[in-house]
Amino acid sequence: MIDIKNLVHRYTIWESDTKKSKKTVLDDVTLDISPGQLVAILGPNGSGKSTLAKHLNVLLLPDEGTVWIDGKDTKDAKALWDIRSTVGMVFQNPDNQIVGTSVEEDVAFGPENKNLPSTLIQEKVADSLRAVGLLHKRKSSPFRLSGGQKQRVAIAGALAGTPRCIVLDEPTAMLDPAARKEVIHVIHKLNKEAGITIVLITHHTDEVVGADKIILMNQGHIIQEGTPKEVFDNFELLKKVKMDVPQVTELAWNLARQGIPIKTPVLTEEQFVTEMMRIYEDGKNREDC
């Protein structure tokens, strides 16, 4: 689905009115994402996450290396339309993505630009809004929606283009905890039920525990890649790059340091409860002996 080899990207930095230099933001990045995966790209601010995201929809081109999307090289100008039809984008601020005066008009914007028949556009709009749980808001003004609902409209807009992959660049950064939870729920639903490949860019570690794979970035490099269990097992590395970890994960790690026989990493509250019950039962059985 996505195959990146030795990707390098540099930005031009103006040091003064007359002097400029190049700053390397992505340095020799190599990764692959298979169809149907939910992959989270995690890292602190300035790690290169958003720059990487923009390469997946040809908003940026490599200075070195190659990016293939569904077998197409992003540097091939003839493939631009196909790639952008394959990969939908959702950005951080939902207000910057609203173009319609009603929810259904906003979601219809993409399909209308493809000159699709009106009946097909209506079907796509209804299906997309139904997928994100907002069909009942189709006649509403998007500006009257909550932050979480606006972001779900943005996801529906991307979905209406019938992409095989959706890249979400910090979609919950401007949302409160309740809205973050509803957006993450929709993302997992689209991945599991619709089979859409999801690339989630975030710095919130609690949002990635359900991913198939996590890419951990820092200063333009991939510093670890693996399952959530593998990445969160490297607690010291997460702390070293100043990543906050889920409270339950940190609690379990601290208990383990104190000699409590808890199996780390613990990623969810349910796992924590299960571990505590196991430790209790083990202790009880030893006392009975």
Q: Phi, psi at residue 28, to the nearest 5°?
A: 60, 50
Q: What pLDDT is stored for residue 99 in this prediction?
A: 86
As given in the structure block, the two tokens for residue 218 are 């820092």
Determine contact, residues 12/63, Cβ cutoff 8 Å. no
> What CA–CA distance (Å, rounded) separates 162 from 87?
9
pTM for this entry = 0.90
Q: What pLDDT is stored for residue 214 in this prediction?
A: 96
Q: How far is CA 287 from the centre of its chain?
A: 47
Q: Encode pLDDT of 95-131 as tens digits.
A: 888 888 899 999 999 888 888 899 999 999 999 999 9
Q: What pLDDT is stored for residue 288 in this prediction?
A: 67
Domain range list for the chain: 34-61+80-227, 246-289
Q: What pLDDT is stored for residue 10 in this prediction?
A: 95
> What CA–CA distance (Å, rounded) separates 226 from 185?
22
**67 has which bridge partners?**
4
Q: Encode pLDDT of 154-202 as tens digits.
A: 999 999 988 999 999 999 988 888 889 999 999 999 999 999 999 999 9
Nearest to 111 by CA among 96, 95, 127: 127
Q: Indicate if the pLDDT at residue 285 is higher than 80.
A: no
> What CA–CA distance (Å, rounded) separates 268 from 274?
10
Q: What pLDDT is stored for residue 157 in this prediction?
A: 92
pLDDT band of 68, cuts 50, 70, 90? very high
Q: What pLDDT is stored for residue 154 in this prediction?
A: 92
Nearest to 30 by CA among 226, 241, 211, 221: 221
For the CA atoms of 130, 134, 138, 144, the dihedral, rounded to the nearest 10 degrees, stands at: -170
Q: What pLDDT is stored for residue 187 in this prediction?
A: 94
Q: What pLDDT is stored for residue 110 in this prediction?
A: 87
Q: Strands across the sheet with 72-73, in order? A: 20-33, 2-14, 64-69, 72-73
Domain range 34-61+80-227, CATH architecture: 3-Layer(aba) Sandwich (3.40)
Sign of the four-CA dihedral 117, 118, 121, 123:
negative
Q: Encode pLDDT of 5-40 as tens digits.
A: 999 999 988 877 788 888 999 999 999 999 999 999
Q: Indicate if the pLDDT at residue 46 is higher than 70.
A: yes
Q: Is the bond into 265 cis (omega within 30 degrees of 0)?
A: yes
Q: Encode pLDDT of 216-272 as tens digits.
A: 999 999 999 999 999 999 988 998 998 888 889 999 999 999 999 999 999 999 999
> What CA–CA distance (Å, rounded) separates 182 from 231?
24
Q: Indicate if the pLDDT at residue 141 is higher than 70.
A: yes
